[in-house]
Structure 1
Amino acid sequence: MTLSRRDFLKIGGASCLVAGAGALAGCSPAGEQKATEPVSAGADTGEGLAGYAPVNFTEETEILIIGTGYAGLGAAMAPALAGKKIVMVDKQVQPGGDSATSCCFMFANGTELQKAAGNTTTIEDAWEAAKERQLKGHEGVEWYEEWAKGKYFAMTKFVDSAINDFGAKYQAPCTAEELPRLSATVILPEGGIGTGGPNLIVPISAKLKELGVETKLSLRATNLIKNTEGAVIGCRFQDENSGKITDIKADAVVLATGGFADNGEMVAQYLPAWANIGQMVHGCVGEGHKMAVAAGAKLDGMDTSFTYCNLMGDIPNCTTWGYWTPVLLVLPNGKRFIEEAQSHDAAQAALDNGYTQWWSIFDQRAFDARAIGTSVEGNIKTHEDVYVKADTVEELAAGMDVPVDNLVATFDRYAELVAGGEDTDFGKKAWLDTLQPPYHALKLNVCRYKTSGGLVVGPNNLVLDTQDQEIPGLYACGALTTESRASVSTCMATGYFVGESLAAL
């Protein structure tokens, strides 16, 4: 969009930058300079911080979505179908953000996919069963139940629309035999665990483009832009390659920028126990948190007291395989240390035992399981340096460089538990079965993974300020919101729910 100089002055003169991911200065909603608030960036006057240009909108759109992971894509779907003008921006070189590396382990109820497979549970039935848990901690908040229900239903709508309107591809749901613990609610991309990129991100992105959504890449969001009434009316971006500054004006700005696990300063502040632990996914640097706080937003649930904040192994797909196949997890001392049919607890359990690594041991059944077979093959090829295959436990121990006697004792003890029909050591129920040679093993390192605290949204999906008032023009979804819990499903759901709000504007 080409704007005249008069337009630049008209728009820029009534707006200002707020301090954000680039630690830039801006202005308070009333333009009053205070020691505890950002100062004027000069707007069209050219005054303010030396080296920072005044607001200079060169593009305008109805909806500006910052982040192209599952939350951002979800936020674009309904408004794109409604014909809204949308610009999506990402600092990465291709769409998908951190979602591209996700296991894409999704939970949903009442989708057309599940109904076609014979699952009779409706979304209404599922909501009634989950309502008490979903509303816990928000008793007395008048609007919350309706909001929580809308978010819960949004995941079902996301899946149905992704398939019917955007060409996404899913597997038929797992049977109880394939997935003993969770079969009724879990759905996966067509290729199984870890294949969300080609089966979800690519087709949804392509259809959005066909619908007229413009995607800009390699642009890092640095500052939200507000008008003098305090409404967010745009965002400033910096080109990752050239350093060029671009200001984009929008009726609605959606933050879908993910967590902060790759921001050492924020990790040290909120998760100090993680400060010296390596990072698995690069790019989740908390810029959305910083920009929103500078615009007056409040943060909640930023530390490990928020139970969905967790560590992971650096081969994240591998941590989920125990849901679908017999697996043994052992420490570098060769000893078993946790129940295997889970995906989020092994890293912390390894640390609690004094280690920063562990091994996942499996057999041919992992390769044969349709939900994980592609993931198993792919991760072995990309992690050959930490992969071991052996015909005997002794050979396996040698290849893993763990004490042979300990690993043999672990296998013997596990065989006893299987024969007795009960895991009295760790309480494993699903896939309590012995492994058969040849044995396969992958070594995992403890890494920072999910941060799940951040922004709080109100009844209309607008970000709340420190006084629990909605900030006009500013929406948020995905892993930088507390209610997403950094789950891929709720990132999709909160994104789609925001999109429903935007489509109705």
Structure 2
Amino acid sequence: MKRRSFFKIVGFSAAACVTPAVLSACTSQTVVEEETGSDAAAQASYEIADQPEVSFDSTTDVLVVGTGVTGLSCALPLLQAGYQVTLCEKQEKLGGDSYESAGIMYVAGSKIQKQAGITTKVSKLWDQRKAQLEEANYSNIDFSRKLFEASGEWADTLADDCNAVFADPQTYSEEGTNEYILLPKNGIGDMDSVLAPLRDTLTSLGAVFQTGYRCCALIGNEKGEICGARFVSADQGDMKDIRAAYVVMATGGFASSQALIEAYAPDWVRVGCYTVASDGQGQLLCEGVGGQLSGMDNAIILTSDVPPVAAWGYFGPTLDISPLGVRLGREDSMTASARACVVGADGFWWTIFTNALSEGSQSRSVAQTVSSYKTRTYGPFDDLEALASGCNIPLDQLEEVFDDYDSMVDNKKDSLGRTSQWTRLEAPYYAFKQMPVRCLTHGGVTTDDTGQVLSATGQAVAGLYCAGSAAAKGGQGLASNGAFGLLVGRALVEKLDERKSQAETSE
């Protein structure tokens, strides 16, 4: 009698089929493929949590869930090796949160940086980057170093293989500053120059993209291996089951999940969020099939609700001041002032800048931002008295802050930790009003160094991989997440080559 296999829903998440915010409704089921010799049984309907039985709409070698920089980078080596890749994105456009980011990429040792005359050793640049990661309470520092050291190769791969375009570091790297920062072609906020060529290259290599479909469940077989996933359309009018030899979760962090923030970082639950897409769904689905979550306690990164403005301090003189005229944090950081603003319950803060910024290397970003946020931009002000009046800051307090700032610039020493942009602010002054938001998280699904998902006992969850901000070892930024995706893609090429070799031998 012909035997028939039934693939069953594994780690079903009810939240994925409704709205990202209703995570308290999440349930997990562990069900595997069953085989039976009974024709009657073969016709039976197996449903879990009111889910229809599995019926594959398509088959691929690797299914990548998420199309941010991690997912797109993961697909590249697989397609170049001739394997089939399907990438699914819950939003209607590709790129995920990466596309909307400020575009600051922490990269060392790339060709374009070397051509710009940056000869500082990667190991020395790592020491600077390591200090930043430790300040933000990142764990897995050893793996973070591995990704940082691979970031140059990732940038070279995108430039050489995909014609991605980066800005010339000579335009913004001087006096030893910003030597491990790479920007897109047109500077801050221009991730289209990086992601569009990558997307187009994947398309030319045969990638299949599905947008507007949210992953709501993983699918397992009788061996306990993950062998596909179920997706539901945004309006829940359509459902797709996709079969794959391997599934890669590249779904991003959990910054917009109120339930996960309350569980892992309750101090930040009342802070707004920049994105609605980082809902932790990948973490929950991996946990539902036995994957271990780690490193998520208080692993929240805050920034401005207008991220490009938070990045200005890397490239020109700025001053971050509270409504009462108190300097908040080091301006050459995208996170320090936002965190200080929340801790101090200030509600918002001012970023003071001058023509030195608006006429500098990031003039495009300044012009676009000011044009888009006219009601948030104040000035020009010809002197401190006008600035204080325009921003409703006590004049005596503002004058004291500026005196301290000038002294800091002269001595090139800052009690708050600033290490660059030692230039005085000269009138006319401008002020931009910013609010703190959650933007990124670190911690997530526990994996080995190839991205394979691990259980609490350290056992591999067969067929399931995770990379980027969804993984406990990821989340250090765009370039590191891209390098992580590239690493996982290459590891899966080896796995698929091995499977192909075994299949040919058995024949």
If the length of structure 2 is used for normalisation, what is the TM-score? 0.85
2:353 pairs with one of 362, 374, 393: 362
1:184 pairs with one of 179, 185, 194: 179
Deviation of the 1:151 alpha carbon:
3.9
Deviation of the 1:65 alpha carbon:
0.5
Change (3 A) 1:344 1:421: same
| Cα pair 1:310 1:451 within 8 Å, conserved | yes
Aligned to 1:218: 212
Rounded to whole Å, the distance in 2 between the matches of 1:399 and 1:120 is: 45
- Cα deviation, 1:452-498, whole Å, max 9, x if unaligned, reads 11012114321111111111111111111121134222111111111
Aligned to 1:254: 248
In the TM superposition, 1:320-339 aligns within 5 A as 320-339=311-330
Does residue 11 of structure 2 align to residue 18 of structure 1?
yes
Rounded to whole Å, the distance in 2 between the matches of 1:425 and 1:59 is: 58
Aligned to 2:434: 444
| Cα pair 2:77 2:490 within 8 Å, conserved | yes
- Cα deviation, 1:256-308, whole Å, max 9, x if unaligned, reads 0001111111111111011111111221101101100001000111112x5xx
Deviation of the 1:429 alpha carbon:
4.2
Rounded to whole Å, the distance in 1 between the matches of 2:327 and 2:146 is: 42
2:399 pairs with one of 388, 408, 415: 408
Aligned to 2:502: none
Aligned to 1:484: 474
Aligned to 1:195: 190
Matched-pair identity in %: 28
SS of the aligned residue for 2:57 comes to strand
Rounded to whole Å, the distance in 2 between the matches of 1:459 and 1:24 is: 29
Aligned to 2:341: 350
Deviation of the 1:224 alpha carbon:
0.8
Aligned to 1:463: 453
How many residue pairs are counted as aligned between the two chains? 471
| Cα pair 1:127 1:152 within 8 Å, conserved | no
Matched residue type, 1:184: E
Aligned to 1:496: 486
Rounded to whole Å, the distance in 1 between the matches of 2:418 and 2:265 is: 30
Aligned to 1:3: none
| Cα pair 2:322 2:346 within 8 Å, conserved | yes
SS of the aligned residue for 1:48 comes to coil
Aligned to 1:313: 304
Aligned to 1:27: 30
Matched residue type, 1:315: V
Does residue 115 of structure 2 align to residue 112 of structure 1?
no
1:303 pairs with one of 297, 308, 331: 297
Rounded to whole Å, the distance in 2 between the matches of 1:90 and 1:220 is: 7
In the TM superposition, 1:228-267 aligns within 5 A as 228-267=222-261
| Cα pair 2:173 2:179 within 8 Å, conserved | no
If the length of structure 1 is used for normalisation, what is the TM-score? 0.86
Query: For structure 1, which segment, 333-342 or 470-479, has the greater mean C-alpha deviation from structure 2 after superposition?
Result: 333-342
- Listed as ranges, the gaps of 5+ residues in structure 2 are 17-25, 35-40, 135-140, 497-507
Matched residue type, 1:327: T
Aligned to 1:283: 277
Does residue 167 of structure 2 align to residue 171 of structure 1?
yes
Rounded to whole Å, the distance in 2 between the matches of 1:228 and 1:380 is: 58
Aligned to 1:140: none
Change (3 A) 1:26 1:45: farther
| Cα pair 1:25 1:49 within 8 Å, conserved | no
Deviation of the 1:404 alpha carbon:
3.4
SS of the aligned residue for 1:57 comes to coil
- Listed as ranges, the gaps of 5+ residues in structure 1 are 1-5, 32-41, 137-143
Rounded to whole Å, the distance in 2 between the matches of 1:166 and 1:327 is: 35
| Cα pair 1:16 1:227 within 8 Å, conserved | no
Deviation of the 1:327 alpha carbon:
0.7
Rounded to whole Å, the distance in 1 between the matches of 2:43 and 2:252 is: 32
Matched residue type, 1:165: D
